[in-house]
Structure 1
Amino acid sequence: MFRTALRTVLAHKARLLMTVLAVMLGVAFVSGTLVFTNTLSDAFQKSSAKGFDQVDVAVTASVPQDEGNRINKTPDLTPALLDKSAKVPGAASAVGVVSGFTAIADKDGKLIGGGFQSQGGNYWGAEDTRYPLVDGHAPRGTGEVLIDSETARRAGYKVGDTVRISVDGPVLTPEITGIFTTDDGNVAAGGSLALFDTASAQKLFGKPGTYDEIDVKAKAGTSQAALKAGLDQALPRGLTETTTGEQLAADQAEAISSQMSGLKQGLLVFAGIALFVGTFIIANTFTMLVAQRTKELALLRAVGASRRQVTRSVLVEAFVVGAVAAVAGLVAGIGIGAGLRALMGSLGATVPDGPLVISPGTVGSTLAVGVLITMLAAWLPGRRAAKIPPVAAMSSVHARATTKSLVLRNTLGALFSATGVAVVLAATSMDGSDGQAPMGLGAVLLIIGVFILTPLLSRPLIAAAAPVLRVFGVSGKLARQNSVRNPRRTAATASALMIGLTLITGMTVMAGSLQKSIDKMAASAIRADYVVSMANGNELSPDVEKKLKAVDGVTATSPLRNAPARIDGSTESLTGVNGRAIGELTDLKVDDGSFKVSGSQVVVDGDTAKYRGWKAGSDFTVYYEDGKKQRMSVAGVYEGNDMLSGILLDSTVLTPHQTDPADMRVMVKTADGATDAVKDRLEKALGSNPAVKVQDKKDVSNEIAQMFTLMLNMVYGLLAMAVIVAVLGVINTLAMSVFERSQEIGMLRAIGLDRKGTKRMVRLESLVISLFGGVLGIGLGVFFGWAAGELLGTKMATYELVLPWARLSLFLLLAATVGVLAALWPARRAARLNMLTAIKSE
C-alpha cells in the first residue's frame, strides 16, 4: 500500500501542484514570520547587551511610597553619592548619568527619528568609553554638542556644522564638535542621541548638580554581584536601588522579546488565516482526487486491502505532498524573513547588524505545520473513500450524498450559526474589554456555521444570478448548472475567498467608522483652532502658553496642566485649565450640573464621577503634591473622551501647589481660525521648535486614527496572502472540474459548442463561484464590523457605523477579478480538449 501511495503521487504530479503551492504559501508565511521576528529580536538584544558592557552596577533613586495623603518626591542622586559609589571596595570608577528628551532637527528643520527615540545625555570626556569619538572633540558648554554617527549620516551633518536642538525648552543652535558611535538600542531603532558636557546636561535637563543614574565599573577580579553587595552596604538604605549590568541586559532583552512577541503574534495570526484558507483547498483537492480514483480504491478493497489501509494510503500521499510543500515553504520563508528585514532598512527603519536567525524551533514547527495541516485536511476524504463498499464504488452508486447526511450537515450548520449570532449579539451589550473574548468566540462559531451551510446557501444565491447568465445563452446556463452540480466542492472553494473578504471587510468597516467618530469627536469636543504639544508626549514649559498668548490674532488660550493628588486615600490626576477660557475652547456635553471651572468649583468626567460616586453639588477634599489640602465642589459632570477627561480645575488654583508646573497641551483659539498663515505665525513664535507640534483639529484626528490606518494597511497587505491562496483554490477546483467533465465537454463540443463557448462556460462558472464567496464574505464582514463597533461604542460616545460603499463595491469587483483570472488556464485547457479523446475517457 505504501508503494501504491507513492506511485499515485508521482502519477498525479500536475493535479497536486496547486495543493503544494497552497501549503507552501501558508508555511512560507509562518517560517518568514518566525525568521524575521527572531532575527530582529536577536539583533536588538545583542545590541542592547553591548550597551551595558560599560555598566557593572547601576545605582538609581528609589521610588518612594506615598504616605497618607502626601505625595512623596523621588530623591536626587547627588555628587556625594557619586563619590561614595566610586570609593566602594571593588569599584574601579563611577559615572553620573543625566538624560532626557532631546529633539534634533534635520537641515530642513524637521524632527529626526520618532519623538520617543530622540534622547540626550552627558559626556564625561576622554574616560567615557560608552561613546567612542570617531571625529572631533568633547563638547564644552551649551554651545557645543556631540551627535551619534547614524544621525549624522542620515541628516548629512559633519563636525563644525550648526544644528537646531530642543531640550524640553527653547531652541538651541550649538555647534557639532564631535561624532561618536554607540550601541544604544534607541539609535539602533532609528532614534537619535545628543551629548553635552555634564554641567550643561544637568542644566538643560533640569537636574542641576544631580544625576538620574550612577554607573559603576568593577575592578578586575570583582564580580558584579560582589560590587552590588558592597554598594548596598555603603549607600543609604531606602533611598537608592542597585541593579547589575547583567540584570539590566536581561531586563532589556525581556522587554525587547515582549515587544517582538506582539509583532510575532500579529503576523502569525495572518499566517494562520492563510493556512486555514489553504486547508479548504487541500481538503477539496484530496476529495476530488479520491473521487476520481474511486474505482481504483475499490479494486484495492476487492483484492484484500482493508479500510484502514485505504485511509493510510491517502494519508501517505498527504504526508509526501505536505513534506515537499513544507520544505519549499521553509526555504521561501527564509527568503521572506531576509526580505522583510531589508524592506525595513529601505523604509528608513534602522536595524542592528546581525546574522539571519534560523532556529531549530523555526525549522521544526514550520515542517510540522505543513505536514500536519495537509494530513488533517486529507484525513476526512480518505476515511470517506474507505467506507464505500467495493461493489458500490465500481458501480458509482456512491456518488451522491444521502438525505440523512445532508440533513445532519444543515442542522449542525444552523446550530453553529445561530449560536454564533447569539453570542456576538450578547457581546455587543457588554462593557468594552469584557465583550472581546465572547465576540471572538461568536465570530468563530458563525464562520464555521456559515461554512457548513455554504452548500445549502449556494443553490439559492447562485440561482439569483440566473437572469444575468441567460444573457450568455447556452454557456451561461451550463455555467450555472455546473456551479451547483457539486455544492460541497463549490462551497469549499467559495469559503476560501469568503474568509479573506470577511476579515478585510470587517476591518474596513471598523476603520471607516472609527475615523468618522474621531473626526466627530475632534469637531464636537474642541472649539479651539489649534492644540500644541510635544512630539514625544512630554510636558511643555508654561512659557509656551505665554508665547502663544502674545501672538497677534490669538483670542484665547488654555493649558492642560496635569498634577498628581490624593483623594480619599488614593491617587488621582488633576488637570489645570484656564477657567475663564475653557468654555470658549471646548464644547463638552454636560450630563449633570453646569460647566463652571473657578476657584473651588471643578467639573468631572462621567467615568470618574461614577467611580467616586459624585454628582453635581458633591464635595470632596483634595490633597495636593505639596501636602496642602482644599475642599472642592463638583459644579458639573461632563462626557469625557480620548482628548479631554478627568477632574478639571482652574490652573490658578493648582499651580501654586506645584514644584515644577508643566503642561501636557495648550489649546489656542484665533480670530482668523485655522489657516496656514496662522499656523506659521504660531510655529515661529515658538522658535520653529522641532520638538513642538502645532496641530489643527484635522491633524489631531489623523494622529489618533493613524494607528488604525496603519493597522488596516497591514491587514490589506497580509491578507493578500489569503487571497492568493484563495485564487489557487479556484484554479484548482476548476482544473479538477474540467478533468472530471472531460467526457461531457467532449460531447458538448461534438454537438456544436465551439471553443469560445467552452471558454465562456468555464469563466462564467468561476465568476459565479467567486462572487458567491465574495457576497458571503462581505455580508459577514459588515456584520462583524457592526458588532465590533457596537462594542467599541460603549467606550466612545461619538461612535457611529459608516458603511464604505465604494470600498465594498471594490471588494466585490476584487472577487469577480479573482474569478476571471483563476479561470484563464482551466478555460483554455477545456477549450483545447480533443473531442474524440475526451468522449472515450472515463
Structure 2
Amino acid sequence: MFRTALRNVLAHKARLLMTVLAVMLGVAFVSGTLVFTDTFGSAYKNKSAKSFDHVSVAIRQHGGGPDDGSQDGKQPPRLTDKLLAKAKGLPGAGSAIGTYSGFAALADKDGKLVGGDWGTTGANYYPGGSGKDPRYDFTEGAAPKSADQIALDSSTADRTGYRVGDTVRYSTDGPVRTAKVSGVFDTDDGSVVAGGSLVVFDNRTAREVLNKTEYDEIDVKAAAGTSEAALKSAVEKILPKDTEAETGASLKADQDRMIEQNTESMSQVLLIFAGIALFVGIFIIANTFTMLVAQRTKELALMRAVGASRRQVTRSVLIEAFLVGLIAAVAGFALGIGVAVGLEALMNAGGATLPDGPLVIGPTTVVTALVIGVVVTMLAAWLPGRRAAKIPPVAAMNSVHAAPTVRGLVVRNTIGSLIVALGVVMLFMKDNYVKAGGSGVILVGVIVLTPLLARPFIAAAGPLLKPFGVTGKLSRLNSLRNPRRTASTASALMIGLTLVTAMTVVATSMGSAINKMAADSMRADYIVSMANYQPLTPKVRTQLDKLPEVAASTPMRTASGEADGSYTRITGVDAASFDKLVSLDYTSGSAAALKAGAVLVDKPFADDKGLKAGDTVPVEFDDDKTARLKVGGVYEPNEMVDGLFAPTSVVDPHLNKISDQQVLLKMKGGASDAAEDKIVKALGDNPAIKIQDKDALSDEIGGAINMMLNMLYGLLAMAILVAVLGVINTLAMSVFERKHEIGMLRAIGLDRAKIKQMVRLESVVISLFGAVLGVGLGLFLGWVAGDSIAGTVKTYTMEIPAGRIVLFLAVAAVVGVLAAVWPARSAARLNPLQAIKSD
C-alpha cells in the first residue's frame, strides 16, 4: 500500500501540485504569523533590555525609582559622589561607576526628532578605574569631555549621517543646545537596538542637562575572586536610608520578569492573529483534501474490488497525505518567513513603525509548521478517506460524483442553525468576553450553513447572469450542482472578509468617535508638549504668548493629592482663558467660577462624593498642605478630558518645581501650516517639543487601532491567496468531473470562448458569494463589538465604510476572474471527442 500511495502521488502531478499549494499556503499563513509574533515580541523585549555585565551589585533608591528632578524633593540626595567613593573603596570592589539617564531629543540634519518612536535617551560617560566606561565601546573619536561635546551611538550616526566633528542640535528640557560630535560608540542598550537614539554627555554635563540631583544608580563591579553575594554584604554596610543593593543576577531576573509582563498583552493580541491563521489554514487544507478524495472515489473503489480492505484503503490515503504534508510543510515554512517579513513591511508602510530587531524563528514555530503540514493534512484526509472506503465498490464505481444526500444536508443545516442560535444567545450576555465568544460561535455556525445559503444567493444572482445567455445559466447551475463544495470554497474568502470588515467598521467608527471627542471638547487649535510627555518648562508658554497670532493660551500643570479621601490629580489652568480653549458639557456651574478660585470636577467624582456646584471639597496635596476648594462646576468627562481643574494660583504653591504637561493654544486665524510654522520657529525648531493640531492628536490616539487594522490587512492578503487557490481547486475539479458534459457542449456548437466565459462566471459567482457573506457577517459583528464600545465611549456611533466595502467586493470579483484563468483554459482546450468518451 505504501508503494501504491507513492506511485499514486507521483502519477497525478497536477493534483499533487494543487494539494501541495493548498497545504503550503495554509502552513505559510500560520508559520508566517508565528514568526512575525516572535520577531515583534523579541524586538519589544530588546527595547527594554539592559546588559548587567559590568554590574555585580547596584545601589539604587528603595524600589528602584530614579530621581528625575520632578518629585517633591523632600529627601536629600543619597546616591552621591561621596557614596560612590565609599563603594569604590570597599574590599572586594574592583570598580564603581555612577549612571544618569534621561530624555535627550536629538535633531537630524532636517531638524526632525531622531529615535522618537523607540527612545530618545541621554546618559553620562563615567570613566571607571580603567579610565573607560564599560557601557560604551568607541569605534570613532573619543568620549565627550566638556559641555560642548556629545557622543552618539553608531546606529544613530548611520541614520543621521553625523560624523565626528559635526555640530548637532539637541534638547533635554526645552531650550535648544548645540554641541560637536566627539565620538561614535557601539552599545547593547535595548532602546538603541530597537531603533532609538542614545546621546552621551560627560558626567558633569549630564548631571546639568538631565536635571539630576543624584545618580540614578551606582554600579559596583566585583574584583576577581569576590562573589556577588559577598560584595552585596559589604555594600549593605554603607547604604544610606531609603536605598537598596541588588546583585546583577537579581537585576537581570527582575528585568526579565518586567519585560515578560510588558509584552504579555501584545503577545496575546498577536497569538489571536496566529489562531485566526491556524483556523483558516486548517479549514483550507481539510476542504482541499475532502474534494480530492471525493474525486478519487472510483479509484479507491477499484482498489477495494481487487482485494484491498477498508483499513488498507484508508491507510493509503493517509500515507499519501503524510508525503504531501511533509513536502508542503517544508515549503510552507520557508514561505512563512517571507510572509513575516512582508507583514512587517506592510505595517511600517502603513505608519505603524515597529521596533527594529532580527528575524526570530523559534523551535515552536518549526514544530507548529510540521504539525500543521503533516498531522493536520493527515487528519483532513482521514475522514473523507474513511468515508470513501466504506462505500461498496460497485456503488462507488457507478456514482463517482454523486451529490450530497438530502438527509446529510438537513442534518448539517440543523446543526448550523443550532450553533448560530447559541451564538446569538451569547451576544445578549453582559460579559464582553462571552459576547466575543458568541461572535466566534456565529461565524462557525454560518460556515456550517453556507450550503443552505448558497442557493438563495446564487438564485438572486440569476438576473445579473441572464445577459450572458446560455453560459450565464450554465454557470449558475454548475455553482448549485454541489452546494457543499461551493460553500466550502466561498468560506475561505468569507472568513478573511468577515474579520477585516468587522475590524474596519470598528476602526472607522472609533476614529470618528475620537475626532468627535476632539472637536467637542477641544476649542484649542494646537497642543504643545514634550515629545516624551515629560514636564515642559513654563518658558515655552511665555515664548508662545509673545506671538501676535496667539489669541489665547493655558498651561496644563498637574498636582496630586487626596480630594475628599480619593487620591486624584488636579490640573492647574489659566482661569481667564480656559473656557476659550476647552469645551465642557456642564451639568451644573460653569468655567467662570475658576476666576474666583473654584474647582471644576467631573460628574463621576461628583456623584461618588455627593457634590454639586457651590459645595466645598477638602484636598490634601502631596506636600501635606491642605485646602478647602469650592466646587464651581460639574461636567461630563470623556477619554480626552476628565479629572479636577483648578486655577494655577491654587496648584502652583504645592509644586516643588513649576512645569507644564501641555500648553493649549488658540490662534487668531485658526490652525494652518503658516500658524504651525510660526509656533515651530518661536520655539527654535526644537526637536524635543511636539506640536499637534486636533487631527494629529486624533491620529495619535487612534494609532493602536490603525496598527491592528494594518496587521489584519496583511493577513487578508494571505487569505486572498488561499481563497484564490481554493477557487482554482474547485473549478479544476468541476472541469474534471464535467469532461463529458463539456465535450457535449463543444460538440453541439459552444465555442472555446463561451466555455471560458462559463467557467469564469462560475468563479465570480462563488467568490462574490463568499465576499457578500463575509461583508454581511463582518458588518453584524462590527455592530456587536461597537455596542460594547459605545458603553464606555459615549461619542461612538457605528459608521459603515462604504468605500472600503465596495473595494472588498471588487477585490472578490477580481479574485474570481484570476482564479478562473487556468481552469477555464483547461476546459476550453478539451478535445470534444475524447471528453465525451471520458465518462
The TM-score range, normalised by the shorter chain, is over 0.9
Show the counterpart of 1:61: 61
Show the counterpart of 1:27: 27
Show the counterpart of 1:504: 500
1:223 aligns with 2:220: no
Select 1:461's aligned residue among 457, 461, 481. 457
2-side partners of 1:281 and 1:522: how far apart? 44
Secondary structure at the residue paired with 1:673?
coil
Select 1:547's aligned residue among 543, 561, 580. 543
Query: What are the within-5 Å matches in structure 2 for residues 42-53 of structure 1?
Result: 51-53=51-53
Show the counterpart of 2:792: 795
Contact 2:115 2:197 in 1 (8 A): yes
RMSD: 2.9
* 2:493 counterpart letter in structure 1: L
Query: What are the within-5 Å matches in structure 2 for residues 26-425 of structure 1?
Result: 26-35=26-35, 38=38, 51-63=51-63, 76=77, 77-114=79-116, 117-125=119-127, 126-208=131-213, 210-236=214-240, 239-256=242-259, 266-302=269-305, 305-334=308-337, 351=356, 358-396=361-399, 399-424=402-427
String of CA shifts for 1:565-593, please: whole Å, max 9, x gaps.
12455532221112222111111212344
2-side partners of 1:45 and 1:799: how far apart? 34
User: Could you say if the C-alpha distance between residues 653 and 276 of structure 1 is closer, same or farther in structure 2, counting changes exceeding 3 Å?
Assistant: same
Secondary structure at the residue paired with 2:195?
coil
* 1:241 counterpart letter in structure 2: E
Contact 1:122 1:197 in 2 (8 A): yes
2-side partners of 1:645 and 1:826: how far apart? 61
Contact 1:2 1:316 in 2 (8 A): yes
1:606 aligns with 2:610: no
User: Could you say if the C-alpha distance between residues 686 and 50 of structure 1 is closer, same or farther in structure 2, counting changes exceeding 3 Å?
Assistant: closer
Secondary structure at the residue paired with 1:234?
coil
Q: Which deviates the most, 527-536 or 17-26?
A: 17-26
Q: 1:519, CA displacement in angstroms?
A: 1.5
Q: How many residue pairs end up in the alignment?
A: 827
User: Could you say if the C-alpha distance between residues 261 and 834 of structure 1 is closer, same or farther in structure 2, counting changes exceeding 3 Å?
Assistant: farther
The percent identity for this pair of structures is 57
1:728 aligns with 2:725: yes
Q: 1:710, CA displacement in angstroms?
A: 2.9
Select 1:703's aligned residue among 693, 696, 700. 700
User: Could you say if the C-alpha distance between residues 312 and 835 of structure 1 is closer, same or farther in structure 2, counting changes exceeding 3 Å?
Assistant: same
User: Could you say if the C-alpha distance between residues 532 and 45 of structure 1 is closer, same or farther in structure 2, counting changes exceeding 3 Å?
Assistant: closer
Q: Structure 1 unaligned runs (5+)?
A: none
Q: 1:117, CA displacement in angstroms?
A: 0.5
Show the counterpart of 2:68: none
Contact 2:558 2:651 in 1 (8 A): no
String of CA shifts for 1:510-537, please: whole Å, max 9, x gaps.
2221222221111111111111011112
Q: 1:440, CA displacement in angstroms?
A: 2.1
Q: Which deviates the most, 587-596 or 515-524?
A: 587-596
Contact 1:597 1:649 in 2 (8 A): yes
Contact 1:23 1:326 in 2 (8 A): yes
2-side partners of 1:726 and 1:152: how far apart? 46
* 1:483 counterpart letter in structure 2: S
User: Could you say if the C-alpha distance between residues 343 and 712 of structure 1 is closer, same or farther in structure 2, counting changes exceeding 3 Å?
Assistant: closer
1-side partners of 2:161 and 2:86: how far apart? 43
Show the counterpart of 1:773: 770
2-side partners of 1:96 and 1:759: how far apart? 77
Contact 1:49 1:249 in 2 (8 A): no
String of CA shifts for 1:227-281, please: whole Å, max 9, x gaps.
22322233135x1122222333344445555666666555554444344334333
Select 2:805's aligned residue among 792, 808, 822. 808
Q: 1:102, CA displacement in angstroms?
A: 0.4
User: Could you say if the C-alpha distance between residues 373 and 781 of structure 1 is closer, same or farther in structure 2, counting changes exceeding 3 Å?
Assistant: same
Contact 2:46 2:193 in 1 (8 A): no
User: Could you say if the C-alpha distance between residues 722 and 258 of structure 1 is closer, same or farther in structure 2, counting changes exceeding 3 Å?
Assistant: farther
Contact 2:10 2:16 in 1 (8 A): no
* 1:509 counterpart letter in structure 2: V
Q: 1:445, CA displacement in angstroms?
A: 0.7
Contact 1:115 1:535 in 2 (8 A): no
2-side partners of 1:359 and 1:687: how far apart? 48
1:718 aligns with 2:697: no
2-side partners of 1:369 and 1:806: how far apart? 37
Q: 1:105, CA displacement in angstroms?
A: 0.4
2-side partners of 1:41 and 1:782: how far apart? 31
Contact 1:283 1:381 in 2 (8 A): no
Q: 1:212, CA displacement in angstroms?
A: 1.2
Q: 1:215, CA displacement in angstroms?
A: 1.1
Contact 2:526 2:691 in 1 (8 A): yes
2-side partners of 1:180 and 1:561: how far apart? 38
User: Could you say if the C-alpha distance between residues 52 and 33 of structure 1 is closer, same or farther in structure 2, counting changes exceeding 3 Å?
Assistant: farther
Contact 1:62 1:241 in 2 (8 A): yes
1-side partners of 2:35 and 2:438: how far apart? 33
* 1:90 counterpart letter in structure 2: G
Query: What are the within-5 Å matches in structure 2 for residues 504-653 of structure 1?
Result: 504-595=500-591, 596-598=593-595, 601-610=598-607, 612=609, 614-653=611-650
TM-score when normalising by structure 1: 0.92
Q: 1:667, CA displacement in angstroms?
A: 0.6
Q: 1:806, CA displacement in angstroms?
A: 1.2
String of CA shifts for 1:2-22, please: whole Å, max 9, x gaps.
443333333333123222112
User: Could you say if the C-alpha distance between residues 376 and 664 of structure 1 is closer, same or farther in structure 2, counting changes exceeding 3 Å?
Assistant: farther
Contact 2:47 2:118 in 1 (8 A): no
* 2:423 counterpart letter in structure 1: G
Secondary structure at the residue paired with 2:168?
coil
User: Could you say if the C-alpha distance between residues 528 and 188 of structure 1 is closer, same or farther in structure 2, counting changes exceeding 3 Å?
Assistant: same
2-side partners of 1:345 and 1:415: how far apart? 43
Select 1:654's aligned residue among 610, 629, 651. 651
Contact 1:311 1:379 in 2 (8 A): yes
2-side partners of 1:369 and 1:277: how far apart? 12
Q: 1:129, CA displacement in angstroms?
A: 2.6
User: Could you say if the C-alpha distance between residues 47 and 621 of structure 1 is closer, same or farther in structure 2, counting changes exceeding 3 Å?
Assistant: closer
Secondary structure at the residue paired with 1:579?
coil
User: Could you say if the C-alpha distance between residues 298 and 813 of structure 1 is closer, same or farther in structure 2, counting changes exceeding 3 Å?
Assistant: same
Secondary structure at the residue paired with 1:164?
strand
* 2:246 counterpart letter in structure 1: T
Q: Which deviates the most, 739-748 or 384-393?
A: 384-393
Q: Structure 2 unaligned runs (5+)?
A: 66-70
Contact 2:760 2:824 in 1 (8 A): yes
String of CA shifts for 1:63-86, please: whole Å, max 9, x gaps.
499xxxx99967632233223322
Contact 2:525 2:667 in 1 (8 A): yes
Q: 1:817, CA displacement in angstroms?
A: 0.4
Contact 2:93 2:231 in 1 (8 A): yes
2-side partners of 1:403 and 1:286: how far apart? 22
Q: 1:295, CA displacement in angstroms?
A: 3.1
2-side partners of 1:618 and 1:820: how far apart? 71
2-side partners of 1:47 and 1:439: how far apart? 35
String of CA shifts for 1:293-315, please: whole Å, max 9, x gaps.
32333344455544444433333
* 1:192 counterpart letter in structure 2: S
TM-score when normalising by structure 2: 0.92
Q: 1:50, CA displacement in angstroms?
A: 7.4
